[in-house]
Chains A and B, each alone.
Chain A
């Protein structure tokens, strides 16, 4: 879940409208929790504040298997270990593209993992993909 291939997140507002967007990285917190970085004010964040359920689609960049993670929003952190780890990474990359201080982590949104299942039938195994001619 290291953000080599972008992930997707679907949330749903209080009035029942789904929202589908891409996220750059899903952070592993512990066996039962993940974190998403909250950088721009956006609909995803507004939705999980109204309705804490989300589904995240991630791809393992080594096996290319894709997974669906059913998540429930727990809390937003602006300090602490998880936040600091995420903040440092963003700070480092921001400084490398001349965005130091401009691009900052607003919060780390912590989710409890309700279920994690391989997205069966979505991927063709790499072995079955024809090699380049």
Chain B
């Protein structure tokens, strides 16, 4: 009874293969239970803090030390737009902070758009293939030559494998968690499972931390701005407006002629009554035109446009607001005159660069703007006779087509080398 040598060797090979498979399964199982334990630990770490940076750091550290993903990043999506911004990275030499990806662009962008995990292990080969197809389509005139390459996607050069997971809370996309490698086929199904577990925890924790951050910021901003404006700023995801910055703004100064005399001779209730009425009317118009009220000192107000919300039509808004204010104040003046008060509005408008940020001290902050432009606007206001709106030539440049103006000669202003030729706004050419 001699066994066929070929049968025996095949059998041995099969046994060896089976053993390999069993070993692999055991390793996977051990890996899985180890990692699940650690993930449970991570999840309690993540959910115990509301600090966004801390949450992001914990997640990415876990990606590396527990799951062995050396290169990872988290991108977050703002409420208002379709852009994913890099919020934290680990394992990159150049931190790529602020780098962004549009929904639908690259692996991360497609994952964000489709709200579905993606694993890809042959990026290099796939791109070579599609590039050669593209080249032939270009040569055949079927497609236009490639435009200048779009901004490079954040991540490794020569990346071969990527695994990206959408972070969602109740169907809302919070962001994307992505890991990558320069080795082809670096990630497998088990990696998908583990990433999903961590990702789900992370999504909720990140969302909570962000909401907390937004609420905090909203609270701070509301002390300076109207609720609507504060809300707009939060949604826009823009830089913190309270950080000092320079911006070209259009500044409007207004005050009441005859107010000082009135304040001295009137009863407290009368005074407050007038101020109340005046502030309410003017305030309503400031909100309607989305201006930023910098301060009011009794009857004087300073409003500026183009900060913290950028506006291409800042000068136009300022002038329209001023004209409407003049009309409204004229109505108020009529009423006040009947009571014996002589109060008329004067307005000055100028445009230029100002330094803007939080001014004051702990417990008493104001959102202030400082620059020659504020001096000029104040001076123009001071020069304005009752019912006049004096604008600087620079403002006129932008709104000339909207207005009928009259020239007023030269005016010297402290801080300006040359005198200014202010214009008085007689009326708008078309109805407001």
Q: Do A and B touch each other in the complex, judged by CB within 8 A?
A: yes
Query: CB of B49 within 8 A of chain A?
Result: no
B185's contact among A2, A91, A92, by CB below 8 Å, is which?
A2
Q: Which residue of B lies closest to A39 (CB)?
A: B133
A88's contact among B105, B114, B127, B184, by CB below 8 Å, is which?
B114
Closest CB in chain B relative to A80 CB, distance in Å: 12
Query: CB of B123 within 8 A of chain A?
Result: yes
Q: How far is the CA of A95 from the CA of B105 in the complex (A)?
A: 6
Inside 8 A of B105's CB, which chain A residues have their CB?
95-96, 100
Query: CB of A114 within 8 A of chain B?
Result: no
Instruction: Give residues of chain A (1-46) contacting chain B, Cβ–Cβ below 8 Å.
Output: 2-6, 24-25
Inside 8 A of A24's CB, which chain B residues have their CB?
125-126, 129
Query: CB of A102 within 8 A of chain B?
Result: yes
Query: CB of A94 within 8 A of chain B?
Result: yes
Known contacts A4-B121, A4-B185; A92/B107 CB under 8 A: yes
Q: How far is the CA of A96 from the CA of B121 in the complex (A)?
A: 15
As a 0/1 sequence over residues 65 to 101 of chain A, the CB contacts with chain B under 8 angstroms (1 = contact) are: 0000000000000000000110011011111111110
Known contacts A62-B185, A96-B127, A97-B130; A3/B109 CB under 8 A: no
Known contacts A97-B130, A100-B104; A2/B122 CB under 8 A: yes
Q: Which residue of A lies closest to B185 (CB)?
A: A2
Q: How far is the CA of A112 from the CA of B106 in the complex (A)?
A: 31
Known contacts A4-B185, A95-B104, A96-B153; A103/B122 CB under 8 A: no
Are A3 and B125 touching (Cβ within 8 A)?
yes
Are B184 and A91 touching (Cβ within 8 A)?
no
Are A3 and B126 touching (Cβ within 8 A)?
yes
Known contacts A2-B185, A4-B184; A25/B147 CB under 8 A: no
Q: How far is the CA of A92 from the CA of B110 in the complex (A)?
A: 6
Closest CB in chain B relative to A71 CB, distance in Å: 21
Inside 8 A of A85's CB, which chain B residues have their CB?
118
Are A2 and B114 touching (Cβ within 8 A)?
no
Are A4 and B122 touching (Cβ within 8 A)?
yes
Q: Which residue of B lies closest to A5 (CB)?
A: B125
A3, A89, A92, A93 interface centre (most CB from chain B within 10 Å): A92
Question: What is the interface residue range for chain A against chain B?
Answer: 20 to 34
Query: CB of B146 within 8 A of chain A?
Result: yes
B110's contact among A3, A6, A61, A91, by CB below 8 Å, is which?
A91
A25's contact among B111, B114, B126, B131, by CB below 8 Å, is which?
B126
Closest CB in chain A relative to B329 CB, distance in Å: 55
Are B104 and A99 touching (Cβ within 8 A)?
no
Inside 8 A of A3's CB, which chain B residues have their CB?
121-122, 125-126
Are A99 and B130 touching (Cβ within 8 A)?
yes
Q: How far is the CA of A24 from the CA of B130 in the complex (A)?
A: 10
Closest CB in chain A relative to B125 CB, distance in Å: 5
Query: CB of B116 within 8 A of chain A?
Result: yes
Inside 8 A of B153's CB, which chain A residues have their CB?
96
Instruction: Give residues of chain B (92-110) contacting chain A, Cβ–Cβ below 8 Å.
Output: 104-107, 109-110
Inside 8 A of B121's CB, which chain A residues have their CB?
2-4
B110, B120, B184 interface centre (most CB from chain A within 10 Å): B110
Query: CB of B11 within 8 A of chain A?
Result: no
Inside 8 A of B116's CB, which chain A residues have their CB?
84, 88
Inside 8 A of B133's CB, which chain A residues have their CB?
99, 103
Are B125 and A4 touching (Cβ within 8 A)?
yes
Query: CB of B385 within 8 A of chain A?
Result: no
Are B143 and A95 touching (Cβ within 8 A)?
no
Are B110 and A2 touching (Cβ within 8 A)?
no
Known contacts A2-B122, A89-B120; A95/B109 CB under 8 A: yes
Inside 8 A of B126's CB, which chain A residues have their CB?
3, 24-25, 89, 93
Closest CB in chain A relative to B272 CB, distance in Å: 63
Are B114 and A84 touching (Cβ within 8 A)?
yes
Query: CB of B134 within 8 A of chain A?
Result: yes
Are B110 and A99 touching (Cβ within 8 A)?
no
Q: How far is the CA of A109 from the CA of B106 in the complex (A)?
A: 24
Q: How far is the CA of A89 from the CA of B153 in the complex (A)?
A: 16
Closest CB in chain B relative to A129 CB, distance in Å: 20
Q: How far is the CA of A2 from the CA of B107 in the complex (A)?
A: 16
Q: Which residue of A lies closest to B184 (CB)?
A: A4
**5 extra interchain contacts, Cβ-Cβ under 8 A, other than A93-B127, A103-B130?**
A4-B121, A93-B120, A94-B130, A100-B105, A102-B137
On A, residues with C-beta under 8 Å from B are 2-6, 24-25, 61-62, 84-85, 88-89, 91-100, 102-103
A-B interface, 4 closest residue pairs, ranked by CB to CB distance from nearest = A3-B122, A92-B110, A92-B107, A2-B121
A and B contact pairs by CB, cutoff 8 A, 18 listed: A4-B125, A4-B184, A4-B185, A25-B126, A88-B110, A88-B114, A88-B118, A91-B110, A92-B109, A93-B120, A95-B104, A95-B110, A96-B105, A96-B123, A97-B146, A98-B146, A98-B147, A99-B143
